[in-house]
Amino acid sequence: MSKARPKQIKKDKLLDQGVSLLLEKGYHATGLKEILDTVQIPKGSFYSYFNSKEQFAAEAIDHYIEPFIQRLSGHLQNSELDGLGALKAYYGELVDELVQTGFKGGCLLGNLMGEIGDTSPLCRDALLNAVGRYAELQKTALERGQQEGKVRTDKSAKSMADLMLNGWQGALLRMKVEQSIEPLQTVCRELLDDYFKA
């Protein structure tokens, strides 16, 4: 077990660095050497962690989404927040962080969907899994909001969760081009503060 732990720590460092570079440069412009040099792992050692760059990207997708899942789960576990309030708190934090980073990066999922979503079956499956987990958690929040009388019931929680994700991804793209937080604020205001409300 003590031998597996250092290997997992190095793998996590590779994934952390990979997520950063994939966000900054995209899949095709991110070189393995750049990632390995930053983490100080010899090039030949890469293949003891991943079979290919494609597998590395697929695992980076899973690595990337996990903190978002954990953070939203934390808001949902907050007894002081109803389901809709948990989503508002979560998205409010994301907006604040994007302002602090100067509108850089956006979302790795959306970026890779556009770049390799239809050319890499392995990454496509990882993207579908990540988006599915993320949407399911948001659907749970909206279902809870429906049960609490805070969220409209004439639309399904699933359709509203999908609308939120789709609107957010589009707003992230506009944010990067416009260098403005307004597209994100508009999505949150129009959906969380209006359309979803009972």
CATH number, domain of 166, equals 1.10.357.10
Percentage of the residues of the chain whose pLDDT score is greater than 90: 76
In a domain, 63, yes or no: yes
In a domain, 32, yes or no: no
Whole domain around residue 183: which residue ranges? Answer: 54-195
Total residues belonging to the chain: 198
62, 15, 112, 91 alpha-carbon torsion, rounded to 10°: 60
In a domain, 181, yes or no: yes
Q: Which of 155, 159, 158, 183 is nearest to 169 (CA)?
A: 183
Which pLDDT value is given to residue 4?
54
In a domain, 11, yes or no: no
Mean pLDDT in residue range 3-7: 68
Residue 65: pLDDT over 50? yes
Mean pLDDT in residue range 151-172: 97
In a domain, 93, yes or no: yes
Most confident of 96-100, 116-120, 158-162: 158-162
Query: For 68-84, how does the pLDDT look when each residue is reduced to its tens digit (9 = 90+)?
Result: 999 999 999 999 999 99
In a domain, 151, yes or no: yes
Within the chain, what is the greatest distance between any pair of CA atoms?
57
Q: What is the DSSP letter of 191?
A: I
Query: For 99-146, how does the pLDDT look when each residue is reduced to its tens digit (9 = 90+)?
Result: 888 887 789 999 999 999 899 999 999 999 999 999 999 999 999 999
The model scores a pTM over 0.75? yes
Structure-token match 């950063």, residue found? 20
In a domain, 3, yes or no: no
In a domain, 41, yes or no: no
Pairwise CA distance, residues 130 & 78, whole Å: 23
The H helix count followed by the E strand count for the chain is 8, 0
What's the number of domains the chain is made of? 1
Structure-token match 């948001």, residue found? 138
Which pLDDT value is given to residue 103?
80
